[in-house]
Amino acid sequence: MTKETPAPLVGHALIQSYLRTLDASPGVYRMLDAEARVLYVGKARNLKARVSNYARPSGHSGRIARMISETAQMMFLTTRTETEALLLEQNLIKQLKPRYNVLLRDDKSFPNILVSRAHRFPQIKKHRGKRTEKGSYFGPFASAGAVNRTLNQLQRVFLLRNCTDSTFESRTRPCLLYQIKRCSAPCVGYISHEDYAALVADAERFLQGRSTSIQANLAREMAEASEAMEFERAAALRDRIKALTAVQQVQGINPRGVTEADVVALHLEGGQACVQVFFIRANQSWGNRDYYPRTGAGADEGEILEAFLTQFYDDKPPPRLILLSHPVQNEDLVAQVLTDRAGRKVELALPQRGEKAELVENAARNARESLARKLAETASQSRLLDGLAEALDLPSPPRRIEVYDNSHIQGTNAVGGMIVAGPEGFLKSQYRKFNIRGDSLTPGDDFGMMKEVLTRRFERLLREDPDRESETWPDLLLIDGGAGQISAVAGIMADLGVDDIPVVGVAKGIDRDAGKEEFHRPGQRPFALRHNDPVLYFVQRLRDEAHRFAIGTHRAKRAKSVGATPLDEIPGVGSTRKRALLLHFGSAKAVSRAGLQDLKAVEGISETMAQTIYDFFHPQ
């Protein structure tokens, strides 16, 4: 008689079994299900005490009880401090995306204004990404539009240049910005270095919130110019004062008592959350942005805000003050982590009265209204996805739809575009472009282009996530094309071993009229939807968005290639040498035909560089 194998431990009993091997060290724990998928990542000041809470059979919220019941394995990693545990926890959450954790789904950086110090006459411009360039940075701004509006206003007031250094050096006369009083034309010597430096200093003072003194100085200078009968200069100063006044009027919310802060307000409803962030810098509102973090199947406000703050400021410098709408779990710990990241003290505050409370109340109202709009849009989108599943005979409504389209002109500058849509609408951060590389493709071979795009897309998915645990695997592929196109795509997917994903082709019907589209599926007869079906309009929107994205990408590539020359491929030939060669010879073709001695005669081209250029065009 064989002895039965005992059933594996799960839930409370499993968690209880780990307690005897744990101590009071700080660290991070992971809870996994029977298929080794991570359910939850948590941190603890005392691992044994924290895990013992999960071992209790009762007293848990519905969310935690479900998580415990699914737990079939746990993993532990000790750290030196609780701060290290918090940082490790958030890194693992971003990497693993566990179901029961709060996750901020955001991969966008924020633009800043940079006053560059790389040139004698500093340039003012928009900057996004790492702060590696020398200069003064001001931000973050909520959007590129907010930066562009501010830059436009700053140019009117302070007349700073925004041209690149190469453009600056090549100017022989003022550009249009000087004519419309947006630049002081330092490129042609219309302003001295000292006077331009004073304008730069004024602009930086304004961005730091010290606009009152600037306005007073301008008024004094205007009065002095009038007394000296320098009426043209007085009029120019008057225009700058008017522009500065206009800037101050359009800034929106301008708190007098808050110089630098982020206002973070949360609204939670129906298991979904909206976090609204307002950026206050230099006593001015620099815009706001809303976020919809995944709530981990029902986390409360304190846990959501803690996760949001630590993930949001993972790649951004936090301000000195963060005003909150709700208390945060482990407030001291979060403040310490943000302080360490900023290299200076960061304070978390929950204001109850006064101007700061009004700022939080305004952000909370925006969060509430944004979530209401989002829920309404999601409900409408859900109905469309349900209808799409019914029309295409899908097993369930798709969570991720990928739509593909190609764009080219007689095979040149060919690109493929992929757009993504789901229950939350278009997911523009997930859009991808594919520069068609196939050297063996016949120009205009749409089948070959689609094969290259799909192969690159799904080979990467198979390499990075073969078990399909992430949310990046599609539930439906829509292709702009008919029976031939869809048959070819089905063959490509079968060759890749992912033929279980539904593929549907959308082709223009009779007379290629919109509204008469036919839908094609591998091995099945085409069909059409009635002309006023909301699902048909939805598919048309998806196809048109893919077409717009592919054409826009193609146009950008074509525009870039128009100014390209073979000189761009020569090592050591940058914009200055390229310009010198083109001015000397007239064209890139003439450069390619030039002799070695002729190349040496070009200003700025050394003997070594002349030899490099000559060898590039004469490899034999």
What single DSSP character describes residue 511?
G
Residues 275, 266: contact at Cβ < 8 Å? yes
At residue 301, the pLDDT reads: 92
* DSSP-based helix, strand, coil % in the chain, nearest 5: 45, 20, 35
Nearest to 237 by CA among 247, 225, 249: 225
pLDDT under 70: residue ranges of the chain? 1-7, 106-108, 210-215, 240, 242-254, 408-413, 438-445, 509-515, 557-564, 619-620
At residue 249, the pLDDT reads: 47
At residue 577, the pLDDT reads: 85
Residues 261, 348: contact at Cβ < 8 Å? no
Q: What is the bridge-based pairing of β-strands 412-422 and 425-426?
A: antiparallel
At residue 575, the pLDDT reads: 77
What count of Cα atoms within 13 Å lies in the side-chain half-sphere of residue 89? 28
Burial 202-216 (b: 16+ CB within 10 A, else e): bbbbbbeeebeebbe
Residues 110, 316: contact at Cβ < 8 Å? yes
Residues 382, 423: contact at Cβ < 8 Å? yes
At residue 262, the pLDDT reads: 92
Q: What is the distance between the alpha carbons of residues 53 and 41, in angstroms, rounded to a whole number?
A: 15
What count of Cα atoms within 13 Å lies in the side-chain half-sphere of residue 7? 7
Q: What is the distance between the alpha carbons of residues 80 and 453, in angstroms, rounded to a whole number?
A: 47
Tell me how far the alpha carbon of residue 223 is from its chain's centroid: 48
> In which residue are the tokens 């002095």 written?
224
What count of Cα atoms within 13 Å lies in the side-chain half-sphere of residue 462? 12
In sequence order, the β-bridge partners of residue 358 are none
Burial 398-436 (b: 16+ CB within 10 A, else e): bebbbbbbbbbeeeebbbbbbbbbbbeebbeebbbbbeb
Number of Cβ within a 10 Å radius of residue 321: 19
At residue 1, the pLDDT reads: 47
Tell me the Ramachandran region of residue 134: left when phi exceeds 0, alpha when psi lies from -120 to 50, beta otherwise: beta
Q: What is the distance between the alpha carbons of residues 554 and 574, in angstroms, rounded to a whole number?
A: 25
Residue type, 605: I
518 φ/ψ angles, rounded to the nearest 5 degrees: -110, 145
Q: What is the distance between the alpha carbons of residues 496 and 359, in angstroms, rounded to a whole number?
A: 54
Q: Residue 344: is it exposed, middle or buried by C-beta count within 10 angstroms (0-12/13-18/19+)?
A: exposed
Strand, helix or coil at 233? Answer: helix
H-state helical runs in 465-533: 483-496
Residues 53-88: pLDDT tens digits?
999 888 888 889 999 999 999 999 999 999 999 999
Contacts of 106 (CB under 8 A, 6+ apart): 291, 312
Q: What is the distance between the alpha carbons of residues 139 and 112, in angstroms, rounded to a whole number?
A: 5
Q: Residue 272: is it exposed, middle or buried by C-beta count within 10 angstroms (0-12/13-18/19+)?
A: middle
At residue 250, the pLDDT reads: 45
Q: What is the distance between the alpha carbons of residues 451 and 139, in angstroms, rounded to a whole number?
A: 43
Nearest to 492 by CA among 458, 543, 443: 458
Strand, helix or coil at 367? Answer: helix
Number of Cβ within a 10 Å radius of residue 559: 10
Residue type, 138: F
What is the C-alpha end-to-end distance of the chain, expressed in Å? 84
Q: What is the distance between the alpha carbons of residues 357 and 364, in angstroms, rounded to a whole number?
A: 10
The DSSP H or E segment spanning 324 is: strand 321-324
Residues 181-208: pLDDT tens digits?
889 999 999 999 998 998 898 888 877 7
Residues 435, 509: contact at Cβ < 8 Å? no
